[in-house]
Structure 1
Amino acid sequence: MKHSTILRKRNQFVLFLFTTGIIIHAIISSIHLINYDVPFPLTASIYCAILLICSALQINEYVMKILLIIGLNGSIILLIMQTNYIYFLVFLILLLFLLAIYQSLWINLSMFIVTIIQLVFLIEYRYTIFRNSITDTDIALFTIILFTVAIIGFMQTVYINNSWKNMENHSDSLEKAFLSKEAYLNLFFENAKDSIAVFDLENKIITVNPAFEKLYGWKKRECIGKAVPLVAPEYINLAKERCNHLLSGGSFDMLESKDMRKDGTYFDAQMTLSPIYDYNGKIIATSVITRDISYKKEAEKLIIQSEKLKAIGEIAAGVAHEVRNPLTVISGFVQMMKNDKNSPYAFYINLIDEEIDRINLIISEFLVLSKPHAMQPKVFQIDKIISDILTLHLPELQLKNIELIQNWNTNNMMIKGDANQIKQVFINIIKNAVEAIEKEGNISVTIEKTAKQFCSICFTDDGGGMEKEVVEHIFKPFYTTKAEGTGLGMMITEKIIQEHEGQITIDSEYGKGTSITIKLPCVDV
């Protein structure tokens, strides 16, 4: 393959010279640039056109070499035969020097012999007047000069051969190194697990790798040459600032941001942004390498939440003991003071008593966190638990003109866990739903079995709903929007669901309502 490539380059060079010579010949014959009649090279032009077609079709290079030699020699002989100018014989000598490019001894030797025969024949039969004017001494001198030229040509061939081989070997090694580097870079680009995109100076995509298509959802053919939206609308100004910083020669390493997929969903992204320079040090493009770190962020949140729960659990046991003991004493004295109906401080005594009950409620919720995580799970019927809790809250719902809608898509679903803790979860959710409805409204409870052997329980109300910020912080300890809330209810709810290997999600829109979905693994009995 290497020799074929080298021979192709030599053939192309010789074909270039041949074509150039034909064009110059045609121009001279057309505009009569010299004072002699030079016929138009029609035959040579047709032959040259055929050679160009053969080169385009990439025929065998050895065959191409032979055709070029025949064409060059034939064109020179044809030119000589069509004119009476003896100095055109020098083209046959020049052809010998040109063919040295092939670095082939047999070609040079063969063409030397052919050239001698042609010269003798032409001088003997074509240029008879010239032949009659020369002597044997002239012929001998011409022969010596010709052999001298041949020897010089041979030595030149050997020298050029060595020099050319060295240059070709060097060029070949550079070409292999470049192709190898380019191939490895292309393999890296195509197989990288991180998303890679290259942008022009107008922030239009030049190219992307398959990981980009998988991460962002955009196909390569859809985004090439376009400025597709990859950043969430609220982060556009920050993205423009980053772009300006890149174009000024800056870069970003391990930058965390929020990016947007084609379907409009967001994900946590870790990006490395760099400018791309040309050989003159000018910025011609920018590159963005992106990694999805949503799972990492979620894991970090879980770790932080776990640490918070652990800290609160450790505090809870101490609080329950250190606070409840003196609180019991205070509560006893308050009850004694309440027995005095004529006390002028009756209002304040009742207020103290209410606040003591509130402290007891907070301590009770603390005690849930301080309980050991180990439990003795039992199999129970989840729909029966929900039915009992709804029956318990039915009078309150009727009192507030709240309609209860029950969608039981399946029955007798069994769950393994602590039934009392699950009851506490449902009571807390229904209580929040009732409080969210100010006057009258609807609460819907839907139970169904998912394809992945999960029991899905969805509580939906048409109350006031929650803002996005509230939903994001609702599971944090002591976070509440209620005047008398403790901020521990939803955190305990999430803790219980996680201990049962379940999931809880909240979908809420301010002013329209809230939907809370709990998924718990089912068991077969």
Structure 2
Amino acid sequence: MVKEDISLLREAFDSFNRAVDRLSSSYSELERKVAQLKEELARENAEKEKLRGYLESILNSIDLGVIAVNVEGRVIFFNRAAGEILGLDPQKAVGRSCSSVLGLDSPLEETLRNTRRRTFDDELINPEENGEPIKVEITTSPMWDEHGKVIGAVEVIKDISERKMLEEQIRRSETLSALGEMAAQVVHEIRNPLGAIQLYVGILQRELSGDQKKLADDIASGLRSIEIITSNLLALARPIKPSFREVDILALLEEVITFAIYAIEENGIKLIRDYPECGLICHVDPEQIKQVALNLILNAIQAMPEGGVLRISASKGDRIKLEFEDTGVGIPQEHLDKIFNPFFSTKSTGTGLGLYTVDKILRAHGASIRVKSQVGVGTCFLIEIPEVIKGEQR
């Protein structure tokens, strides 16, 4: 009996040992599979993180601003270009509410509400660009998960300032071309009878005396004014052809200042020169560039009837930059888009062709001019001239 019990106990112990071995083996297999799964999960996570970093790198390399928010309206992605366009720090934007970053009227908020895709043009204010509006094209679209549930929204911002500027230049060129052709025809029709009238008035001036001669003189003066106006009209149709030479821009500026210094001092204006010590050499038509500088200086003088400060700055980067900044009356915002149009003037005197001519000369040089102005504060004209003009005639 005891032997049988011992035998049963041994069998039970052996069975237990076999079960423990099987359990240990199963546990080892389970540990191996868990370790394998952990390794695969870590590898997948690393791949996902690598892909995420790769996608972020792509999105931060493009010139389109990209902003994404979750369904609660919290910013979850804000790329480099969006920061540059909006003048915001991407790191400070992420995690904040959409409305606190982009304003209460953010198109992303509307897209989250109505879940519809939108594309429209707008103007944004970038504080780093001195508060100047930037023309942009904005596209917003909801984001869905694999089940079709909205999980957020994305906004793509494209800076179209240059495109809009080119469109405006094309429109303006077409308008001016048509205006120039019409002006040439009008001048031709006016000058024929004008010449005969001037001839007869000249005879009257020689033959008349007293009050009658004074009337003839007044008529002659009026005819001279008409002649000047017709000459200015003809300038619209005449293309500007610069004669390029290698010159020192600073020397040209000094020539113009010498010519205008009496008017500057007579009007109680303080002149500040902000030049580099060395010269700024580029290829331009010196007489035409002097005409540009003189026009802008005279404009500044007229804008400061009670005196002020005129700062003329010159610097060189990839292009030569000239600035003419005054502390005058300023230009109303609604006039800024019109000041380079022919015959547009806010002054009671003048033909309204000064700034038009400035712009026309600079375009012929492959240069550009921009204006910033605030009423009661002053005006700044910024000119950018390439060092070498494509197709220049030397």
TM-score of the superposed pair, with normalisation by structure 1? 0.55
* Structure with higher helix content: 1
Q: Is the 8 A contact 1:436 1:463 kept in 2?
A: yes
Q: Which residue of the other structure, out of 451, 454, 461, is the alignment partner of 2:317?
A: 451
Residue equivalent to 1:251: 117
1:351-500 alignment, distance < 5 Å: 355-410=222-277, 413-446=280-313, 448-452=314-318, 454=320, 456-500=321-365
Q: Match of 1:472, SS?
A: coil
Change (3 A) 1:417 1:187: closer
Change (3 A) 1:378 1:315: farther
Q: CA deviation at 1:464?
A: 1.2
Q: CA deviation digits over 1:177-203, x for unaligned, max 9?
A: xxx9xx999977863544433324553
Q: Is the 8 A contact 2:368 2:384 kept in 1?
A: yes
Q: CA deviation digits over 1:407-428, x for unaligned, max 9?
A: 5534654443323222221221
Q: Which residue of the other structure, out of 169, 172, 178, is the alignment partner of 1:302?
A: 169
Q: Which residue of the other structure, out of 211, 221, 235, is the alignment partner of 1:342?
A: 211
Change (3 A) 1:516 1:185: closer
Q: Match of 2:136, SS?
A: strand
Q: CA deviation digits over 1:316-340, x for unaligned, max 9?
A: 4333323233333344445556655
Q: CA deviation digits over 1:217-244, x for unaligned, max 9?
A: 656543233135665x7xx65x46x744
Paired letter, 2:164:
K
- Is 1:511–2:380 an aligned residue pair? no
Residue equivalent to 1:197: 67
Q: Is the 8 A contact 2:136 2:158 kept in 1?
A: yes
1:59-458 alignment, distance < 5 Å: 59=35, 191=58, 193=62, 194-208=64-78, 212=82, 216=86, 218=88, 221-227=91-97, 237=105, 239=106, 243-244=109-110, 247-252=113-118, 254-260=119-125, 263=128, 266-277=133-144, 283-334=150-201, 340-343=209-212, 346=215, 350=218, 355-410=222-277, 413-446=280-313, 448-452=314-318, 454=320, 456-458=321-323
Structure 2: unaligned runs, 5 residues or longer: 1-18, 38-43, 389-394
Partners of 1:430 and 1:186 in 2: how far apart? 53
Q: Is the 8 A contact 2:242 2:288 kept in 1?
A: no
What CA RMSD, in Å, does the superposition of the two structures yield over aligned residues?
4.3
Q: Is the 8 A contact 2:242 2:364 kept in 1?
A: no
Q: Match of 1:376, SS?
A: coil
Change (3 A) 1:52 1:304: farther
Q: CA deviation at 1:432?
A: 1.0
Between stretches 493-502 and 203-212, larger displacement belongs to: 203-212
Partners of 2:33 and 2:88 in 1: how far apart? 39
Q: CA deviation at 1:490?
A: 0.8
TM-score of the superposed pair, with normalisation by structure 2? 0.70
Q: CA deviation digits over 1:247-266, x for unaligned, max 9?
A: 134331x3111235574664
Paired letter, 2:156:
I
Q: CA deviation at 1:299?
A: 2.1
Q: Is the 8 A contact 2:111 2:141 kept in 1?
A: no
Higher relative contact order structure (alpha carbons within 8 Å, sequence separation ≥ 6):
2
Q: Is the 8 A contact 1:461 1:513 kept in 2?
A: yes
Paired letter, 1:458:
E
Residue equivalent to 2:34: 58
Q: Match of 1:342, SS?
A: helix
Paired letter, 2:211:
N
Q: Match of 1:428, SS?
A: helix
Change (3 A) 1:317 1:292: same
Change (3 A) 1:226 1:333: farther
Change (3 A) 1:320 1:402: same
Q: Is the 8 A contact 2:111 2:140 kept in 1?
A: no
Q: CA deviation at 1:272?
A: 2.0
Q: CA deviation at 1:433?
A: 1.4
Between stretches 513-522 and 406-415, larger displacement belongs to: 406-415
Residue equivalent to 1:85: none
Between stretches 328-337 and 488-497, larger displacement belongs to: 328-337
Q: CA deviation at 1:436?
A: 0.9
Change (3 A) 1:278 1:373: same
Change (3 A) 1:434 1:59: closer
Q: Is the 8 A contact 1:466 1:509 kept in 2?
A: yes
Paired letter, 1:319:
V
Q: CA deviation at 1:493?
A: 0.3
Change (3 A) 1:453 1:51: same
Q: Is the 8 A contact 1:506 1:516 kept in 2?
A: yes
Change (3 A) 1:436 1:353: farther
Partners of 2:209 and 2:264 in 1: how far apart? 37
Partners of 1:277 and 1:59 in 2: how far apart? 34
Q: Is the 8 A contact 1:230 1:261 kept in 2?
A: no
Q: Is the 8 A contact 2:93 2:101 kept in 1?
A: no
* Structure with higher strand content: 2
Q: Is the 8 A contact 1:268 1:297 kept in 2?
A: yes
Partners of 1:227 and 1:356 in 2: how far apart? 69
Question: May I ask how many residue pairs the two structures share in their alignment?
Answer: 351
Structure 1: unaligned runs, 5 residues or longer: 1-42, 62-175
Q: Match of 2:210, SS?
A: coil
Q: Is the 8 A contact 1:413 1:522 kept in 2?
A: no
Partners of 1:400 and 1:394 in 2: how far apart? 10
Paired letter, 1:275:
P
